[in-house]
A and B are shown apart, each in its own frame.
Chain A
């Protein structure tokens, strides 16, 4: 998936790094120092629908069914995440306990047209 360039109007991944210091949250989030908040945006013309590969989101299955029964789906193809990964966090909870957990599906790694 291309990362977004200013000139790219097509579906791409828009990368943002968020430092927890910027949020004023370093006092309770011990690790990591920040994380990638990426999101998908851009146009999905019809010839790109379904590329690259099957989108990870649940409505790709719906579109596949639609395609199987009606080659030209009535809806539009959307730029959606096709791959995500968890974010490991070490943080202090409301009672001062230290918690280490993996929050699923927190970081978008790839985008595609559903």
Chain B
């Protein structure tokens, strides 16, 4: 407790090593929480399956986040809808509370099963038409899935913004592959997408601090 006019870092009574260590640990907690704009540490009530986390982390670029105060986020989906349906599932994401960061890139990662015969035409809607979550549904993107395994499907960042509650629902709508004379290939209700276990779908979001245009001088 020094008076303002003196330099607080210019020495003073030295602390006992234990007391100094306890103080350092307390400072570290405070510094990390302040650096992450948190008031308390997160409580992990449902630990993520390690395999799902590892599979997803492999998708994040290795190394440090690019300069310019950017963030990368992976948000895992909770899947509702019949897992036996070829598609039509609703993926619900609980996104971080938006701060001043601006979303500039979004990809939805899905794992296609080896049973995928031919090309699957996949439409991704924001919102859902399911009874419990009825609301407007807008088409975000349309993709052709031709290969089994992890698929990165680009979504328009503008279509994902504006969700104050942080809860984002996407509905997958796909047409099973058809042969040349228009008949469905393979069993009509076969599953083509794997949404369980460590193949759980997730969103990969890239954020940049500030809104577009901030920091650039505006000339009138």
Contacts and interface: CB of A to CB of B under 8 A. Distances in A.
Given A18-B24, A78-B10, A96 B76 contact: yes
Given A23-B25, A43-B11, A95-B94, A88 B41 contact: no
Contact of B65 (A27, A88, A96): A88
Interface stretch (B28-36, B124-132, B155-163, B189-197): B28-36
A8 B64 CA distance: 36
Interface string A1-34: 0000000010100001010001101011110000
25 contacts: A25-B32, A37-B28, A40-B9, A41-B9, A41-B11, A42-B9, A43-B10, A76-B6, A77-B7, A80-B9, A91-B42, A93-B42, A94-B38, A95-B95, A97-B73, A97-B75, A97-B76, A97-B95, A97-B96, A100-B60, A100-B71, A100-B72, A101-B36, A103-B35, A103-B36
Interface of B: 5-11, 21, 24-25, 27-29, 31-32, 35-36, 38, 41-44, 46-48, 53, 56-57, 60, 64-65, 67, 69-76, 94-96, 166
Given A23-B29, A95-B94, A76 B35 contact: no
A87 interface: yes
Given A101-B65, A102-B69, A103-B36, 7 more contacts: A16-B24, A37-B28, A40-B9, A95-B75, A97-B74, A102-B65, A104-B35
